[in-house]
Structure 1
Amino acid sequence: MKKLSIAIMTTALMGISALSSEIKKPECIAPAKPGGGFDLTCRVVQTGLKDQFSRLMKVTFMPGGIGAVAINQFNTTRTDDPNAIVAFSSGSLLNLATGKYGKWTENDVKFLATAGADFGAVVVKSNSKYKTLDQLMNDLKKDPTSIIIGAGGSVGSQDWMKGALLFKSIKKDPRKMRYVAYDGGGDAIAGLLGGSIQVYMGDIGEMTSHLDSGNMRILAVLSKKKLPEPFSKYPTAIEQGYDVEWTILRGYYMGKNVSTKAYNAWVKAFENAYKTPEFKKIQEEKGLIPLNMAGEELDKSVKERIVKLREIAKETGLIK
């Protein structure tokens, strides 16, 4: 047991040493104003990796185009910066897939690591006639325009995409969806409770506090597998027979010309952090479910996701 403990400690120290030697001024870029999801993503790494730096990681806010300003800078003046990582989300990946970042694509950055994940959810009022996802989907099959769906995002956003995937799973045109766009999740929930919409395409993490009130019901979670407690009681859409999955991924990328040595030092730092109870605690505090990937594994996963998003965007007329 003593030898094992020494081995683990030695491995951790080697990772810390490699990171410290490569990264002198650690910085996380949040491509938005303070207080949002990108801010949250940077705070996770700021706290989660604090023991691996000689100084506290700096968080810099860089709003503009939901990530467009940041990706432009890291493809012009900071392509090889070893100190800086940039927060991204599934919304960022959708923007890449639909060309909203101009000429920059998924091949113009190095995807580094994840902070954690949230998952889409199909939500109705607790007194809704829909007790199961099957009941909802059967009505959509009969008449796709009979149900009003809403979310905190415009047509083409990742919240809209959740609904589009539901329609695709029953071979219905997503463009037939009666969709109401709200300024945010809070407004959309108010719309659901007020009766303006019948179904809310939300996220499981944001629903936790609302479900305690008993005003809403989750018909399905859009994850590949059952989620851990306290979400294990909610069935997935897949296990109910509908091939719909939407992971709200939060993570980090670096400039495409960063040295392999610096990139690998960051990867190792995240891999070390993922093994600690402290990092898991931070994820829980920030409402994230552990989905820990770094390096090549994440890069492959992200690029596969973007290909799928691009296909969906073409099928639904978002891009040509």
Structure 2
Amino acid sequence: MKVVRIRALALAAMISVGAGVASAQEKEQAMDKIHFLIPGGAGGGWDGTARGVGEALKNSGLVRTVTFENMSGGGGGKALNYIVENAQSNEGTLMVHSTPIIVRALNQTVDMGFRDVTPIASVIGDYAAIVVGKNSAHETWDQLHAAFQENPRDVAIGGGSAPGSMDHLVPAAILQAAGSNPLDMRYVAYDAGGKAMAGLLSGEIAALSTGLSEAIALADAGEVRILGVTSPERVDAAPDAPTFTELGVDMEFVNWRGFFGAPNLPEEKRAQYAEVLKEMTTTEAWANVRDRNGWIDIYNAGDDFSAYLQNQEAEMEELMKSMGFIQ
């Protein structure tokens, strides 16, 4: 069995922070406002991350006002182009993004990447999951994989992003690790995670590739079954969901999510954003948001974050070439 492992951050950069409460001094020095730009629609991982971070910043008293703007389109390219082309008016804006800012530049879904904006910090890690509807005939990963091996075209796997994106790459890597040809997979792309989940629940697709945090609430409600998670161990927020390692598939992955500012953002402003996000990760308000979503803390800022992005770009390029996604 071929081993597939996608790293999210070097272990030394993974920091689990304890919960605390913002001090009175911190509240007095609160930022006035942050506007969050979300490159996808409602219900997706970017949307959940931006709104969760905004909630924690507001509830901890670190930022007085938070606003949100969903700007889906072009595989995230519309929002990326917007923040670049309107840099001067977007100094008060943070765009949420994740591994796809690298993947989509590599497969040329978008014509810009992380070098065109200002990396601020990665904040959370979200494991990936393969999910089926509650009435699916496939009750386990082994059953779904067996059906795929029998006739791949009958087992459509959907995701909330464009072909060649992270939602596409992760199940392809899982199938490759399980001994199947990832290029046989029929991937159905939706514009945002909420639409992809609706497609699963309506029976348009056999399974959904998604972030674990997007599946937990529906799994708890009995609407979906989580067949496998890309975590090294079971996640407390979804204790009944097995890891792919348990299932005999050597595949682990955690998708970082973080924030970027406009290009040529003044260094003082960049440092201010990085510091307020760092302070947020020490608050009780953040611990509540993080734990209910099954996220892990991955705070990595400034030049270290930029260096990590360059390293991940090289790793993702090698992986995508090995699976035939790019030449």
- Counterpart CA distance in 2 for 1:213 and 1:26 is 33
Amino acid at match of 1:272: E
The counterpart of 2:197, out of the listed 175, 185, 207, is 185
Rg larger in structure: 1
Tell whether the 8 Å contact from 2:32 to 2:65 is kept in structure 1 after alignment. Answer: no
* Aligned AA (2:96): A
Kept in 1, the 8 Å contact 2:156–2:186? The answer is yes
Give the match for residue 170 of structure 2: 162
Structure-2 change in CA distance of 1:35 and 1:297 (3 Å): same
CA contact (8 A) 2:103 2:166 kept: yes
Matched residue of 1:230: which SS? coil
Asked if 2 retains the 8 angstrom alpha-carbon contact of 1:88 and 1:250, the reply is yes
Instruction: Note if 1:94 corresponds to 2:103.
Output: yes
| 3-state DSSP of counterpart to 1:156 | coil
Match of 2:264 among 253, 257, 260: 257
Q: Are the aligned partners of 1:106 and 1:303 in contact in 2 as well (CA < 8 Å)?
A: no
The answer for the alignment partner of 1:123 in structure 2 is 131
**Alpha-carbon distance between aligned partners in 2 of 1:207 and 1:9, rounded to the nearest angstrom:** 29
Change (3 A) 1:275 1:12: farther
2:219 and 2:227 map into 1 onto residues whose CA distance is: 12
Answer whether contact 2:75 2:109 (CA < 8 A) is retained.
Answer: no
Matching residue's letter, 2:245: I
Letter of the 1:188 counterpart: L
Cα 1:105–1:178 shift into 2, 3 Å: closer
Q: Is the 8 A contact 2:159 2:196 kept in 1?
A: yes
2:163, 2:84 → 1: CA distance?
28
Distance (whole Å) between structure 1 residues aligned to residue 48 and residue 277 of structure 2: 17
Q: Deviations over 1:149-196 (max 9, x none)?
A: 4223453233222221022214543212244556512212332xxxx7
Give me the TM-score of the superposition, normalised by structure 2.
Answer: 0.72
- In structure 1, the partner of 2:273 is 266
List gaps (5 residues or longer) in structure 2.
Answer: 1-19
Q: 1:11 to 1:32 in 2, by over 3 A?
A: same
1:222 and 2:234 matched: no
Please say if residues 26 and 62 of structure 2, whose CA atoms lie closer than 8 Å, have aligned partners that are also in contact. no
Q: 2:181 aligns with which of 156, 173, 176?
A: 173
Equivalent of 1:289 in 275, 289, 295: 295
Question: Residue deviations 1:6-57, cap 9 Å, x none?
Answer: xx9998847974xx6xx6653222335666554443333333223224x413
The equivalent residue for 1:52 is 62
Structure 1 unaligned residues grouped into runs of 5+: 1-7
Q: Quick check: 1:276 aligned with 2:283?
A: yes
Report the counterpart of residue 28 of structure 1 in structure 2: 36
| Aligned-partner Cα distance in 1 for 2:215–2:22 | 41
Distance 1:254 1:126 in 2: 40
The alpha carbon displacement at 1:278 in A equals 0.8
Question: In the aligned structure 1, how far is the partner of 2:180 from the partner of 2:101?
Answer: 26
Q: 2:245 aligns with which of 238, 259, 272?
A: 238
- AA partner of residue 148 (structure 1): V
8 Å Cα contact 2:132/2:224 also seen in 1: yes
- Relative distance call for 1:69 and 1:177 in structure 2 (3 A) is closer
Find the counterpart in structure 2 of residue 65 from structure 1: 74
> CA, structure 1 residues 81+236, in 2 after alignment: closer, same or farther (shift >3 Å)?
same
In 1, Cα distance between equivalents of 2:53 and 2:133: 36
Residues in 1 aligned to 2:186 and 2:137: alpha-carbon distance in whole angstroms: 18
Aligned alpha-carbon RMSD (Å): 3.8
**Alpha-carbon shift at residue 85 of structure 1 (Å):** 1.3
Q: What is the TM-score with the length of structure 1 in the denominator?
A: 0.74
Paired residue secondary structure (1:245): strand
8 Å CA contact 1:118, 1:204 repeated in 2: yes
* Secondary structure, aligned partner of 2:299: coil
Q: Which amino acid aligns with 2:236?
A: E
Match of 1:150 in 2: 157
Q: Secondary structure at the match of 1:236?
A: coil
